């Protein structure tokens, strides 16, 4: 079975390709994937993996702003990573992440993502590390608010910014739905 990996910007994906991605994500997250979750993965780069039967894996990286040590950084934020159920644990998640990490490492100050318990091993095995400090977001109504529920699932990858200091918080830009 031939595996093809393609990296493309949202603007370069055809409507049928976007429909296939949305279908894969809906199935992979067993119906717990809404419109805001979908929106979070649009506007950036997508890694799509196809096998003989179609789309088998996907992930996206979008730009977010993250303040750390008084400086706003460009973060490549990984979203919507999924592998079709019959192809899990075959290395396809790693193929997706290799493409996304290439984008993060070359175009952003750092990488960040929020991982489920099931997905955390994929990220740690690739060198992503669980953020050991506080996580905040810049709310449009309340200013900077702490997100303690995100502190055990936020992973980072230092790219161009150099080492990150857990004594200083990460402050993410705000977005509707799940902030992280």
State the maximum Cα–Cα separation within the chain, in Å, rounded to a whole number: 52
Which CATH number characterizes residue 20's domain?
Answer: 3.40.630.30
Q: Tokens in use for 5?
A: 């990996």
Residue 178 lies in a domain: no
Whether 65 maps to a domain, the answer reads: yes
What is the residue-level pLDDT of the chain in tens, covering all 180 positions?
689 999 999 999 999 999 999 999 999 999 889 999 999 999 999 999 999 999 999 999 999 999 999 999 999 999 999 999 999 999 999 999 999 999 999 999 999 999 999 899 999 999 999 999 999 999 999 999 999 999 999 999 986 656 789 999 999 999 999 999
State how far the Cα of 148 lies from the Cα of 109, in Å rounded to an integer: 24
C-alpha–C-alpha distance, residues 159 and 76, integer Å: 9
Asked, for residue 177, whether it belongs to a domain, the answer is: no
Residue 179 lies in a domain: no
| 74 in a structural domain | yes
Query: What is the predicted pLDDT for the residue at 133?
Result: 96
Q: Is residue 177 within 8 Å of residue 41, measured between CB atoms? A: no
Which residue range is the domain that position 18 belongs to? 4-172
Residue 26 in domain? yes
| 113 in a structural domain | yes
Distance CA 43, CA 62 (A): 6
Residue 117 lies in a domain: yes
Mapped onto helix, strand or coil, the DSSP state of residue 90 is coil
- How many domains would you assign to the chain? 1
Q: Is the dihedral of CA 26, 28, 32, 37 positive or negative?
A: negative
What pLDDT is recorded for position 94?
97
Using an 8 Å Cβ cutoff, are 136 and 170 in contact? Answer: yes
- 83: helix, coil or strand? strand
Instruction: State residue 163's pLDDT score.
Output: 79
């Amino acid at each position: 079975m031939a595996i093809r990996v393609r990296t493309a910007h949202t603007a370069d994906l055809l409507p049928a390709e976007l429909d296939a991605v949305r279908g894969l994500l809906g199935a992979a997250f067993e119906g717990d994937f809404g419109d805001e979750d979908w929106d979070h993965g649009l506007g950036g780069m997508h890694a799509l993996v196809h096998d003989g039967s179609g789309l088998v894996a996907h992930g996206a990286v979008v730009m977010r702003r993250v303040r750390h040590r008084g400086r706003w950084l460009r973060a490549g934020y990984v979203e919507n990573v999924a592998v079709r159920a019959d192809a899990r644990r075959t290395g396809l998640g790693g193929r997706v992440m290799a493409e996304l990490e290439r984008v993060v490492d070359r175009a952003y100050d750092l990488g960040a993502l929020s991982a489920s318990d099931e997905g955390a091993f994929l990220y740690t095995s690739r060198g992503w590390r669980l953020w050991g400090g506080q996580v905040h977001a810049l709310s449009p109504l309340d200013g900077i608010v702490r997100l303690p529920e995100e502190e055990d699932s936020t992973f980072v990858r230092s790219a161009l910014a150099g080492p990150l200091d857990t004594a200083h918080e990460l402050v993410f830009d705000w977005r509707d739905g799940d902030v992280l």
